[in-house]
Amino acid sequence: MTRTVAVFVGSLRRGSINRQYARVLEALARDRLSFEFVRIDDLPLYNDDLWSDGVAPDPVMRMKAQVAATAGALIVTPEYNRNVPGLLTNAFDWCSRPYGKSSLAGKPAACTGTSTGVLGTLGAQTHLKAAMDGLGLVAIGQPEVYLQWKPDDYDDATCTNDATRKLLQSFVDAFAAHLDRFA
């Protein structure tokens, strides 16, 4: 059975390595998971004043409906100043409001990310995991993947490095099993 997963990518850059990384994970998960990439580039900055009778601006309502219709969430984040990019935080603030109507609460989730540095996105993922708990996401504990991006290891959405592909496949397999527990 294929489950649909909301995929949040924390970079807007056209050549984002985290978007490329998410596509690699999508290819590895294709037989079990369907990735629904969540558009977050058009969201206004969070402001309680923008809610009117439980309705927010159209891009927010579109995102909340998209996320609510999925079986889980995958967050693929770069690291900015050892933290999560503001655009992800903004998206999560909108998803979690109004109180009691979060589109994220109770969903099985995982986070990962890549950078060109040797620590991958360790700092960002550490902060993100704490935020995921506060958002009511049920995060997978293991395996953790802090991936150092090496462009020569990829051909489009295919990982050509055997060791890296095995690591990423174990992550995808564990995430799919995590989602199965909530079915």
- Distance, in Å, from the CA atom of 130 to the CA atom of 24, rounded to the nearest integer, reads 26
**What pTM was estimated for this model as a whole?**
0.96
pLDDT digits (tens, 9 = 90+) for 122-157: 999 999 999 999 999 999 989 999 999 999 999 989
List helix spans (H) across the chain.
17-29, 58-68, 86-95, 122-134, 162-180
pLDDT tens digit sequence for 30-75: 999 999 999 999 999 999 999 999 899 999 999 999 999 999 999 9
pLDDT digit string, tens, across residues 2-41: 999 999 999 999 999 999 999 999 999 999 999 999 999 9
Where are the domains positioned within the chain?
A: 3-180
CATH fold group of domain 3-180: Rossmann fold (3.40.50)
